[in-house]
Amino acid sequence: MVVQGDLSGADVDRIFRALADATRRDIVRRTLTDSASVSQLAAAYEMSFAAVQKHIAVLEEAGLVTKTPRGRERVVQGEPERIRRAQRLLATYEDIWRGRVSRLDALLDDMKE
């Protein structure tokens, strides 16, 4: 059973691939509460500016952040609604697995009797 809610299969793949990296998760965390310029974000990591830009591009492609011009800077802002959609998907999967575990528990209890 494939449950994706209002996300396409490609959306789900992009979101979880993007969140599989610790730096990208940290960028999302930082930008959900307040926007930050690419330069500000890059200063927080021990990697090149270009590497941080690539991480931001992956997050942008997944819809987890947006990058908008503000003067000479590019400002990154997290997209909380996209995170909520992924969270709803995970909650659906959790419900499915909890149901399966409950059925397995019931089967094992029946076998004991």
Q: Give 5's pLDDT tier (boundaries 50, 70, 90).
A: low
**Domains plus CATH for the chain?**
9-112 (1.10.10.10)
Reported as a single tens digit per residue, the pLDDT across 63-78 is 999 999 999 999 999 9
Tally of CA atoms within 13 A in the half-sphere of 63 that contains its CB? 16
Distance CA 32, CA 34 (A): 6
Distance CA 1, CA 22 (A): 29
State the pTM of this model.
Answer: 0.80
Instruction: Write out the chain in H/E/C secondary structure.
Output: CCCCCCCCHHHHHHHHHHHCCHHHHHHHHHHHHCCEEHHHHHHCCCCCHHHHHHHHHHHHHCCCEEEEEECCEEEEEECHHHHHHHHHHHHHHHHHHHHHHHHHHHHHHHHHC
Q: Give 89's pLDDT tier (boundaries 50, 70, 90).
A: confident
Reported as a single tens digit per residue, the pLDDT across 9-66 is 888 899 999 999 999 999 999 999 999 999 999 999 999 999 999 999 999 999 999 9
